[in-house]
Amino acid sequence: MVNIHEPGPLEGRLVQWPVLAASGALEVRLAETDAEVEAAQHLRYRVFYEEMSAVPSPDMRETRRDFDHFDEVCDHLLVVDRSLADDDGQPAVVGTYRLMRDVDAARAGGFYTSTEYDIAPMLAGVAAGSRLLELGRSCVLKTYRSKPATMQLLWRGLLVYVARFSIDLMFGCASFAGTDPKALALPLSYLHHYHPMPREMRVRAIAAQFVDMNLLAKDAVDPKEALRALPPLLKGYVRAGVCIGDGAVIDRQFGTTDVFIYCPVSNIEARYRNRFGMSV
C-alpha cells in the first residue's frame, strides 16, 4: 500500500500501487515507508555531495542523507534493483525523483522552486482547477547512468503518476554542473532563444539571483551542438517539449547552474507519449 500523502507523509488514505514499470531486475514504484524515503535521501547524498560538489549541512554529513522539510510532504519515485541489496537487505535504490503536487506544496508553505524563481505569473496564468506537479531532486547512481533502462523507468513511473492524479502542468528546476555561466554560454543561450516560455506567464529568476541566459546571439548558436551540450535529463525534457523560464540561477550549495522548466502535459511530444505508454 502506498501513501499518497493526504494529509501527512505517511498518514491518510492509502491507495494500492503496483510496480509501475519493470525492465529486467529494475523496477520503478513509489516509496512506501520511511526507510525507503531515507534510501532515496542516501542516494541523493551520494550523488550530489560525494560525486558532485554540493556542500552538506552538519546533520546531512552525519546521516549521509540529503533532506529538507519538503521531503515530508512529497512522494518519492524510486528505481530499485532487485538483484542488488542495500545494507538492510532491501532492494537497492538506484534512481529517484521527488514529486510535489500543489496540495502538498500548500502544506509545505509553497513550492521549492519559489526559492529561486518567481512563479506567480505561471500560477496566475494556469486555468482554474489545474493540477500542478513540481519535479525535483532527480538523480541516478553513477553505475546506472549508462543504462538507458534506468532513466526510462523514471520517465515511465513519472507519467503513470501524472495520469493517476490527472496532472495538467509539470514544472521545476533542472541543473547544469558548475557555477560559471560563461562556460555554459552555448546551452544557456540555446534554451533562451529556442525554448522560451509563453511571454504572458513567463517565470523569471528572482532578481537577486538572476543570471542572464542570453549570452550568445541566436544566429551564433548551433542548435545541434547546443543540444549535445545539455545534461541528459535536461536534454530529455527539451525533446519532450518543455519550455524554459527567463534567467538562470547559481546554486552555491549544490554547485550547479539551474534553469526553470515548464511542461504542460498536453504539450508532451507524441513520440514520448507512445514511448512511455502515456494515455493522457
124 within some domain? no
120 within some domain? no
Three-class DSSP category at 113: helix
Give the pLDDT of residue 7.
Answer: 33
Three-class DSSP category at 127: coil
For residues 55 and 185, state if they share a domain.
Answer: no
CB-based contact 232:95 (threshold 8 Å): no
Q: How many structural domains does the chain have?
A: 2
For residues 163 and 57, state if they share a domain.
Answer: yes
For residues 76 and 153, state if they share a domain.
Answer: yes
Q: What global pTM score does this model have?
A: 0.89
For residues 34 and 156, state if they share a domain.
Answer: yes
The grid coordinates listed for 233 are: 535529463
Burial class (CB in 10 A: 0-12, 13-18, 19+), 165: middle
pLDDT digits (tens, 9 = 90+) for 157-189: 999 999 999 999 999 999 999 999 999 999 999
Give the pLDDT of residue 227.
Answer: 96
Phi then psi for residue 193, to 5 deg, are -85, -35
Instruction: Give the structural domain span for 142.
Output: 1-110+131-167
For residues 256 and 163, state if they share a domain.
Answer: no
The grid coordinates listed for 170 are: 509539470
For residues 88 and 226, state if they share a domain.
Answer: no
For residues 14 and 153, state if they share a domain.
Answer: yes
Read off the pLDDT of each residue in 231-238 and give the average, rounded to a whole number: 91
The grid coordinates listed for 116 are: 529561486
For residues 95 and 231, state if they share a domain.
Answer: no
For residues 216 and 263, state if they share a domain.
Answer: yes
**Cα–Cα distances in angstroms (integers) from residue 265 to residues 28, 133, 279, in the given order:** 21, 10, 11
The chain-wide mean pLDDT, for the chain, equals 89
Of 27, 33, 23, which Cα lies nearest the Cα of 1?
33
117 within some domain? no
Distance of alpha carbon 161 from its chain centroid, rounded? 13
For residues 103 and 179, state if they share a domain.
Answer: no
231 within some domain? yes
For residues 152 and 226, state if they share a domain.
Answer: no
